[in-house]
Structure 1
Amino acid sequence: MTEIRALTSLRFLAAFYVFVFHLHIRWPLAKDSPLAANFLSQGAVGMTLFFMLSGYILAHRYDGERLDWRSYFGNRFARIYPVYVAAALVTLPSMSLTPLTAQDWSLPAASWMALILADATAIQAWFPPMFKYWNNGASWSISAEAFFYAMFPILTPIIAKACTRDKIRWLVAAYLLSFLPAAMYILFDPMGPSATYYSVPIYRFPEFVAGMAAFHLGRSVRIRTAILEVGLVAASAFWVWYLALYGPRFPLYVSHNWINVPVIGLALLTLTRSDSFLARILSVRPAVWAGKISYCFYSFQVLILFSAVDYRDAIIARFPLLKDDVWWTLSLFLPLMAISAAGYYLIEEPFRVKVRGWLNRERKLGVDMSAASSPR
C-alpha cells in the first residue's frame, strides 16, 4: 500500500484538536474571544475524523486485495494494542482520582476486576458507566476501533463490489445514521446519559462506514481536483463558522455530524489526490512525522492531563509565567510530543515490525508446507 502522506498529517491535526479541547474544558484558552472559545469547546468532533479516516485508510489499504484474516488481525493488533497497554499502565496510578467505591458500585473488588478485564479485552466502550473511570475517558475510542476492525472484513467486499448507485446508498445511510441517534437524544432524552450516544461503538460505527464508502465512491466517480479543493475550502470555512457560532448550543458532539461527515469526507477525497495543492502542503516531512506519532500523542495525552490536574498549582508557583493558559498549553504540548516520539520509536514501531516479520514467516512456512505436500 502506498502511504497517503497528507492523510497521515491530517491524523495529527485531529489528535491536536482533541488535545487542545481537553485542555480548554479545564483551563479556558480563549477567554477574550467567545467565538474561538466555542470552536475549541467542540474539539471532540475530532473523533469523527479519526473514525472516518480509519475506515478510509483501511479501504485504501486493502483495495483490490484478497484479505488474509490472520495477517489482517495480526497487523491490527500490532497497530493499536502495545501502545494501548502502555497508556493504560502509565495511567494506572491515576485510578485513585476516581476510586471505585460502594457508593458507585455494589462490589468494589468485583468492579475493579470488571474494569481491568473490560480494558484488557477492549470492550469497555460498550458499557457507558465505565466511561468516567481510569483511562476509559481516552481509551473508549480504541475499544470502538477494535469493533470497527472486526467488522471491516465483513463489510469491505460488499461495499467494494457494489455498483456506484449502491455505494452512494451506503454513504447516505452511514451519513444519516451518524447523527440520527444524537438527534433522537436531543428530542426525547436531553437529560439522559450522553456517554451512551457518544462512546458506544455501534453509534460511532456509521462514521467508520462513511469513511469506507467515501473511498470506494471516490474510486467510482471522478471529480476534478480543483473543484474538490474549492469545495473543501468553502465547506471548511462554513464548518468553522458553524461550530464557533452554534456548536455549544447542542448537548452532544455527534449532533454536529450532519456537517462533520460531509466536510471530512470531502477532505479525505481531496487530500488523496497527488495533484492537490492542499495535499502537497500537508505532505511536508515534519507534518507527516507528527502524523506517524499521532496515535501515541492521542493515547498518552491523558497521562499529561492527569499530571497537570495534580501538579498545576505547584508548577505555577515555581514558574509564574505558566499561569497564562497559552504558555501552560505549550508547556504540556512539548513533553507530550517527546513522550509520543519515544512511544512510537520504542513501542509502536518495534512491535509492528516484529509482528509483521512473524506473519511473513508464518506465511512463508505455510507456502513451503503446501508445496511439499502437493503431489508431484
Structure 2
Amino acid sequence: MQTSPTAARPDGARRDYFPALTGLRAVAAGLVLLHHFNPFAPERFGWRLHSLAAETHIGVTVFFVLSGFLIGYRYLGQPVALRRYFANRFARIYPLYFLLTTLTFALLRWQGKPVFLGEYLLNITFLRGLFEQYVYTGIGQGWSLTVEEMFYLSAPLAFLLIRRNARWLWVLPLALVAVGIGLVLLCRLHPWHGLFGSFDFLFQFTYPGRAVEFFVGVGLAWWLRRGAGPWAPGWLTYVGAMGVLLCLGALSLLHGPQIGAFGVLRPAGMFLNNVLLPLLGIGPLLWGLVQENTWLSRWLSSRPLVLLGKSSYAFYLIHMGAVQELVHRWLGSSFLTVLALYGLSMALYWLIEEPLNHWLRRALGRPAPAAPALVR
C-alpha cells in the first residue's frame, strides 16, 4: 500500500490541499452537465443508457460531501476564528455568484422576460432556495448554494460540539432532518410561496434534508484528524468508485419510463442519493483519494483536471441558464458551446473569481485596529 504524498509528510504535518479532490470537482461538474443536457435520447439509445445519464445529478451530492470534508478537515482540529472563517467563505462564494446572478437578471430583462426585484433579492441573498416557488429562478442550479451556505453558517457551532463529543457527528444530521420534517409539517398549515412546502422539496433542495451528505464528509475529516492519518488499506479508492457506480446504477433502475421521471424523486431514490451514496460511495472514495496513490488519484491530480476543478465553480454557475443560452445562440452548436463555456469559466476564474477572492480575504479577514488610547 502506498500513501499519497498529499496526505501526510515525514514531519507529521498535514496539508489542507489535495489536488485529487480538486480534480474530482471537475468530474462532479461534468456529471451535472451530463444530467442537464442528456445526449442519450431514449428512442435512439434506449431507456437504460438515457436513465443512467439522467441520474448523474449525483455530482451535486459529490460537491456536498466534498464541502463537508474540506471544511471539516481545515477547521475541526482547532478553534474557529469566526471573522476570518466567514470572510473566507464570503470571499470564496459570493463575488462571482453576485456578478453572474446580476448579469443573468440583466440578460433576462434584455430578452424581454419578466424580471421582479423580489426574485432578484431572494437570489442574491441565497434565500430563494428555501421556497419551491423561487428555487429555479435566476441561475437555476444555484439552489445548491443555499444548501452550502446554510452548512457554512452552522459549521462553527457544529465543530465546537463535535470537538466536545464525537456523538454529535450523527446526532446533528438526525436532528436537522427532524427539524426539517417539523418545518414541512408546520409550513403546510400556512403555505407561503412554497417555504418548506413538501417532503420532496425538503430532501432534494434544503440543508436539513441533505445534512447527512455534509456530515459524512465532516465525519471522514474527523476520523483522519484523529490519527487514522496515513493508514489506508490500499483499495478504498476502488471500493468507493464502485460504490458510486452501483448507487448510480440503482438510481437509474428506479427511473421511470418517461423523460424526467428521475429515480431520485422516489423515496427509495432519495435515501440512495442522500445517505447510501455518501456512506458507501463518495466517503470511501474521498478517503482513498486522500490516502492512496492510485492511477485514479494521479489522473485527478493532473494539471488539466486540477485546472478544470479550480474553475468548476464558475462552470457550474454558467453551464445552464441565460449565459449558456446566449453562447449557444451565437455558436449554434452544442459541442462548441460546451467548449466555449469551459474556456469562459477558466477566464472567469483567472480574471475575476481568484483575484476577488484574495483581495476580499485580505480586506475582510484583517483584524480590526485597536481603539486609540485616550490622551490624558
TM-score, structure 1 normalization? 0.76
RMSD value, Cα? 3.3
Q: 1:336 to 1:291 in 2, by over 3 A?
A: same
Mapped contact 1:53–1:211 kept (Cα < 8 A): yes
Within-5 A mapping of 1:115-264 = 115-135=119-139, 137-163=140-166, 166=167, 169-170=170-171, 173=174, 177=177, 194-220=200-226, 222=228, 224-247=232-255, 248-252=262-266, 254-257=270-273, 258-262=275-279, 263-264=281-282
Shift of 1:113: 2.7
Does the C-alpha gap of structure 1 residues 205 and 132 become closer, same or farther in structure 2, counting only changes over 3 Å?
same
Offset, 1:225? 3.4
- Cα 1:35–1:173 shift into 2, 3 Å: same
What per-residue deviation string (whole Å, max 9, x for no partner) do you get for residues 275-334 of structure 1?
44432221111111111000001011124443377x3xx965xxxxx5xxxxx3x22211
Deviation at 1:267, TM superposition (A): 1.2
Partners of 2:214 and 2:314 in 1: how far apart? 21
Q: Contact 1:45–1:254 at 8 Å: present in 2 too?
A: no
Query: Which segments of 5 or more consecutive residues in structure 2 lack a partner in the other structure?
Result: 1-14, 186-196, 256-261
Tell me how far apart the structure 2 counterparts of residues 177 and 192 of structure 1 sit (CA, whole Å): 13
> Conserved in 1, the CA contact under 8 Å of 2:241 and 2:282?
no
Structure 1 position 12 matched with structure 2 position 26? yes
Residues in 2 aligned to 1:47 and 1:128: alpha-carbon distance in whole angstroms = 18
Question: Distance between the aligned counterparts of 1:299 and 1:140, measured in 2?
Answer: 11
Q: Which amino acid aligns with 1:234?
A: M
Q: CA deviation at 1:33?
A: 4.1
* Distance apart, 1:340 and its partner CA: 0.4
Q: For structure 1, which segment, 113-122 or 48-57, has the greater mean C-alpha deviation from structure 2 after superposition?
A: 113-122
Q: How many residues align?
A: 330
Residue correspondence of structure 1 range 80-91 to structure 2 within 5 A: 80-91=93-104
Match of 1:130, SS state, is coil
**In the alignment, is the contact (CA less than 8 A) between 2:55 and 2:251 conserved in 1?**
yes
> Residues 229, 62 of structure 1: CA spacing in aligned structure 2 closer, same or farther, 3 A cutoff?
same
Which residue of 2 is the match for residue 334 of structure 1?
339
> 2:303 aligns to what?
285
Offset from partner CA, 1:14-39 (integer Å, 9 cap, x none) = 11111121112xx5457314322111
Distance 1:5 1:225, change over 3 A: farther
Shift of 1:120: 2.2
Post-superposition offset of 1:170: 4.7
Quote the Cα distance in structure 2 between the aligned partners of 1:267 and 1:167: 23
> Contact (CA 8 Å) 2:26, 2:309: kept in 1 or not?
yes
Compute the displacement of 1:72 (Å). 0.8
Task: Give, as a single letter, the amino acid of the residue that structure 1 aligns with 2:242.
Answer: A
Alpha-carbon distance between aligned partners in 1 of 2:84 and 2:122, rounded to the nearest angstrom:
25
Q: Name the amino acid aligned to 2:31.
A: Y
Secondary structure class of the residue paired with 1:2: coil
Residue identity over aligned pairs, in percent, reads 25
Comparing 229-238 with 287-296, greater Cα deviation is found at 229-238
Q: Give the match's secondary structure for 1:340.
A: helix
User: Residue 338 of structure 2 aligns to which amino acid in structure 1?
Assistant: F
Instruction: State the Cα deviation string for residues 250-283 of structure 1 (Å, max 9, x = none).
Output: 5256343243212111111111115444322211
Classify 1:237/1:124 alpha carbon distance in 2 versus 1 (closer, same or farther; 3 Å). Answer: closer
Closer/same/farther in 2, CA of residues 193 and 28 from structure 1, 3 Å limit: farther
Please tell me whether the aligned partners of residues 9 and 288 of structure 1 are also in contact (alpha carbons under 8 angstroms).
yes
The AA in structure 1 aligned to 2:337 is: L
Following superposition, the deviation at residue 99 of structure 1 comes to: 5.0
Q: TM-score, normalised by structure 2?
A: 0.76
The amino acid of 1:332's aligned partner reads T
The equivalent residue for 1:269 is 287
Structure 1 runs not aligned, ≥5 long: 101-110, 186-190, 317-321, 323-327
Range with greater deviation from structure 2 (271-280 or 207-216)? 271-280
Is the 8 Å Cα contact of residues 300 and 336 (structure 1) preserved in structure 2? Answer: yes
1:307 pairs, out of 309, 312, 326, with 326
Taking structure 1 as reference, are residues 240 and 147 closer, same or farther at Cα in structure 2, changes over 3 Å only? closer
